[in-house]
Structure 1
Amino acid sequence: MHAWPASEVPALPGKGRDLQIHDTATQGTITLAPGPVARIYVCGITPYDATHIGHAATYNAFDLVQRVWLDTKRQVHYVQNVTDVDDPLLERALRDNLDWTELAERETALFREDMTALRMLPPQQYIGAVEAIPGIVPLVERLRDAGAAYELDGDIYFSVGSDANFGKVSNLDAEAMRLLSAERGGDPERPGKKNPLDPMLWMAARPGEPSWDGASLGPGRPGWHIECVAIALDHLGMGFDIQGGGSDLTFPHHEMGASHAQVLTGEFPMAKAYVHAGMVALHGEKMSKSKGNLVFVSALRRAGVDPAAIRLALLSHHYRADWEWTDEVLEQAVARLERWRAAVSRPDGLPADALVEEVREALANDLDAPAALAAVDRWVDAQNASDGDDESAPGLVSRTVDALLGVAL
């Protein structure tokens, strides 16, 4: 599966700072100082509706991570998956009388278009669950053969008790885990499981549903968590720098994935930092497909909204915050974009070297994009109120906003 084209990232004078970021597992801020190549895995979409503002906010956060790392003169190895076979996708295809593969391909293509328009840097590997199945099957067999998985009516389940570090990503108690498991795709009430929290690794073939050759597992399809584990281990290995996604993936998805990987490899942890973006609401409720209260990036683009304004609207909120999308949020972003473009369109201006460092410092401090926007606002206000004579300043500001914030002026 191919990703989307990369926009050019301008080089800035000097060098950026190492990233300090909030780690869900330790519940504190840690400093990440990767080697020459920083490694990041971000969980992708299930392509039955793409791309709403909640998606965009999440991928914007991890785009900032890449830009901070690139500014430190590192390379970035970024991997993202597409869950292109799963119950929600099959249910939507059945509802709309569509072939499930057609639906997945259509929505994935739309996602690529939206990511391109928003100038999100693409992953080096963009892997669908279906194409990962040949690598998933041996991992499930290894877990089963090691006694970390068991069969129940033809399905294969992972035993959470096989991982001594289970629970160290989300830090939740058993009851909270059980409730979230039921809410987020698990089946804690199924009779016969060793532990209600045990997640499915391999679903035996169901009538009328797609299935693949599972070798000794029998025909079926993979569970959700093992999909990401197989892709991440194949392309990044253990101990990569960031496992990212929305905060609703903390449990069960990232918790279960970490346990799968840790049992498979005997290493801990799977990722050095677990980083989660907040949820976006509309009309007081979390924006979600199940509620149908979605604002789509593609619909905003069709309505003539500049993608740079959409991106500024996302950047105006801290990535870990839960916030609400409103017309006012977008109007403020449109006005900010107009002010910024007017300020950098002048032939000269106030010196901007200090601004570059302010933006770098803000983003290195747990991706504090609102503080970075405020720094640019101050330069723009001063630029509009005075007569600077630095001919290089407007260009430097434009390159800084482009390179570090992903906004083209």
Structure 2
Amino acid sequence: MNAEGTLPWQKLLPAPQPGTPAVNFRGWLLTKHGEPLLWIPAEAALARQTLRLYPAQTRRARWARRLVSWAVGLPGAPGLRRLTLSVAADAAFLPLLAGSGQSPDQVRFGIFCGNPRAEGRRIVFLRFGSDNLPDAIIKAGDHPAAHARLEAETALLRAHPVERLRAPPLKGVWQNGPLRAMVQSYAPGDCPRHPAETLVATLLAGWLDPSRQMPVAALPLWRLLEARLPQDVRFPNSRSRLAEVQVAPALVHGDFAPWNLRVERGTGRCWVLDWERGREGGLAGWDWAYWVVQVGLLVRRWSPERMMKELEAWLERPAVRGYLTRAGVHGIARTVVLSGLWYHYLFWPPTERADAWASLLRALQQRWSARPGPADAPPGPG
């Protein structure tokens, strides 16, 4: 039986009314901090593939996922409890889960519930084909905030070539009353633990538009940021300096982090997932600075003071300097970092370690505004 109305996918896979036909799916529920994290099918091979939906980053999380993968199917598997989903046979979502050529009773899938604290949480389904291999990723939701995220991502995927985004192709969208979903091709590969900085720089360079040059102050996302910034925020470079600097506009991913990458074994092809925050007209370097902070604060659990030192060292690395120079922003590097972190903090408030984020922003402003780095100095004569 389904849990007592508490499962986040309940509206997509409703329980049958008494006396009506049902389809039953045997599986296991994995929780994290008491919240549903994954529902994995009973078949061991499918279960292990579903576990890869969870992009474990910390050593503890990776070991836990490995242990669960090994223990699937064993009596009393740690961290798992048996959960058979009993779903109404006429549920509108079942045909989408079945895909082409399969009846609802042949459906094979796994579920990743995502972050329960995120506004507009979407439920991610891994759909398997008749060969028991992953066939598609389906993101679905029943809340207006989830609808907005789905619509934003589908609009961006339709507006740009998938080769530029490095995104899995969009296969279709679906709607039934308040239920909405998008279907993407499955992106094979692993979540990289320590991707090379040259790989990151190559990805980000593909999101620049060097054919266009405009002042920083004229960038659409910069204007949005300025309108929302607290009045006491100051950047290392003056407004007049920012009005002079010509830059290549950047497509900003908005949630660029290792857990949103997949690298295929053998080919090395890299996929970039979850584009719902993607926006045109941003500043090069915003995504990369966010990446560094997310890894430092969430994975390595660094203090704001340690994070600040890491950002200063990161700005001096050759791959980073090369990317910022190519984008025309190396001379305002610290302003790039600080403005990018404020952009993410204000438009996409962190759901974890928000206090550390706020402390880091204030510490960076105080340190960098008082002591601009050499990279932020105006160019000399000639």
TM-score bin, normalised by smaller chain? under 0.3
Task: Give TM-score scaled by structure 2 length.
Answer: 0.28
Q: Greater relative contact order: 1 or 2 (C-alpha under 8 angstroms, separation 6 or more)? A: 1
Q: TM-score, length-normalised on structure 1?
A: 0.27
- Give 1 or 2: higher helix fraction: 1
